[in-house]
Structure 1
Amino acid sequence: MKKSYCPIDTFINVVKGKRKSTIILHLSQGNKRYSELVRLIPDISERMMSKQLKELEADNLINREIFPEVPPRVEYSLTDLGKEIHPFLKGMFKGGIIFEKMIDAEEKR
């Protein structure tokens, strides 16, 4: 995580990426296993999902917990920081819905 000239850019640089915000939004609903996240976000490859999860973990937005079982079970959850930024992502989600409605209305013309 790097600081940018503007705090808005810093925020966007951390959460941008293939479905990072979507991952955070899903984890806000509770802990998820890797396979659950893949099922919830079908338009991302497993390679890209792994990459995004590693980046989110490195930026201290999610926790990765490995359970000592056979086979090993891994669960992802939000950190306190991830929980703190969730309301902002939820606002962006709502903003996206507004823009999508506008796009749909324009397409119908």
Structure 2
Amino acid sequence: LSAGFDVADRCHLAPVGAAFLATTSSGVAAFDRNPGSSDATIVTSSMLPAYRGILLPLVYGPGTRSQRSATPPRLTHGPNETFIKAAGARSLAVLLDVLTRAGHVV
């Protein structure tokens, strides 16, 4: 969850949030707080207050783009940014599953 936009108390109420939380019990995904800012913070902070109550941003990371254990570390949003294809493929599969379970993809 992005700092400043904590949806932990209402995530289970949204179809997508409930479907995502269901994937966490199998260990496929994790639900955690982001100690810093994320792209979702930028998007949600610019939304009208009425939309903040109905939109539920999903943020993927750090495994989808960061390689903190590499030498030198390749992090997100910088000259060493990279994309881990295997993590990206798994993330897309989880996202498709979540959207399908929530009834947004048929």
**Length-normalised TM-score, structure 1:** 0.31
Higher helix share: 1
* Larger-Rg structure: 1
**Length-normalised TM-score, structure 2:** 0.32
Higher strand share: 1
